[in-house]
Amino acid sequence: MADRIGGDAEEAPGDRGRRRVLHLGAQGSALRTQEEARKTKQEASSGGDAAEHIRARRLADAPDVFSRKNSGVESRANRDKLELKSASDGSASYAALEKKAELYEKLCRGELPDEDEVYCVDFFRKNVNGNGAGDGDGADADADADAMVLAAKLIGPGRTSALMDRDEHKRFVREVHEEASEAREKASEFKLRRREQEAARRDRLRQAYLRKQLDKLKAAQQIQP
C-alpha cells in the first residue's frame, strides 16, 4: 500500500506535466485553427468587397442609354411648349384673324394685284361639325379655329367656345364665307372697271395723238406752195 502510494507520488509530477503539455498543445491547435478560420473569413470578405467595388465602378463607368438624349430634343420640346402656349391662349388664332382682316380690307379697296390669290380663303374646307366627312376638301383647322375664337370673343369674357351653340357657330362661319365671296366679286368688278377705264383712257390719248399728228400734217401741207 505504501509502495503504491509512493509510486503514485513519484509519477504524479511527470503525469501532471505531460497533461499540461497536452492541454497547451490542444489549446494552441485550437487557437491556430480559429486564427486560420478568421483569416480565411477576412480574406473572403475583403475579396467580396473588392469584387463589389469593381462591379460598382464598372456600372458607374458604363453609359446610361436611357439618359442619353437625341440631338435637337430640347429645341423641339421648347418649340412644342411655345406652340401649346399659343394655342391655349389663342394668340396664334388672333394673329391669323388679324392677317385675314388685313387681307379683307385690301381686297375691298382693290389693292391686291390680279395674280395674288392669297385672299381666296375657303372657309368650308373642313366640316363645321368636326366629323371629318363633309363637303370640304380637307382639314382646314386654321379657319375653323379662327371662327371658334371669334365666336368665343363675341359672346363675352369668361366664356369658352364650348358653350356656344353649334348652329350659331355654323351660321357665323357661313356669313363670313358669304362676305368673303361678296368681297371677291366686288374686287373682281372693281378691277374690271379699272381695266376698262385704263383702256378708255389709253384710247383717248391715242386718238388725241393721232389728231395732233394729223393737224401737223395739214398745217405742213398748207405752208407748202
Annotated domain spans of the chain:
1-63, 94-221
pTM, to two decimals: 0.26
In Å, how far are 10, 13, 15 from 3, measured between CA atoms? 10, 17, 18
Please list, in sequence order, all residues whose beta carbon lies within 8 angstroms of the beta carbon of residue 126, skipping any fewer than 6 positions away: 134, 136, 138, 139, 140, 141, 143, 144
Where do we find the cell 375691298? 108
What pLDDT score was predicted for residue 120?
A: 52
Give tens-digit pLDDT for 7-53. Answer: 444 555 556 666 665 666 667 677 778 788 777 777 666 655 666 76
Among residues 133, 131, 134, 136, the alpha carbon closest in space to that of 121 is found at: 136
Q: What percent of the chain is modeled with pLDDT above 90? A: 3
DSSP string, the chain: -HHHHHHHHHHHHHHHHHHHHHHHHHHHHHHHHHHHHHHHHHHHHHHHHHHHHHHHHHHHHS--TTT---TTHHHHHHHHHHHHHHHHHTHHHHHHHHHHHHHHHHHHHT-S-TT--TT---TTSS-TTSSS-SSSSS--HHHHHHHHHHHHHHT-TT--GGGS-HHHHHHHHHHHHHHHHHHHHHHHHHHHHHHHHHHHHHHHHHHHHHHHHHHHHHHHHHH--
pLDDT at 131 over 50: no
Give tens-digit pLDDT for 67-100. Answer: 666 667 777 777 777 777 666 665 666 677 777 7
In Å, how far are 13, 22, 93, 172 from 154, measured between CA atoms? 123, 112, 14, 11
What pLDDT score was predicted for residue 66?
A: 61
Give tens-digit pLDDT for 181-219. Answer: 888 888 888 889 889 999 999 999 999 898 888 888 888
Distance CA 142, CA 180 (A): 16
Mean pLDDT of 153-178: 64
In Å, how far are 101, 116, 121, 122, 197 from 108, measured between CA atoms? 11, 14, 14, 17, 19
What pLDDT score was predicted for residue 68?
A: 62
Instruction: Read off the amino acid at residue 223.
Output: I
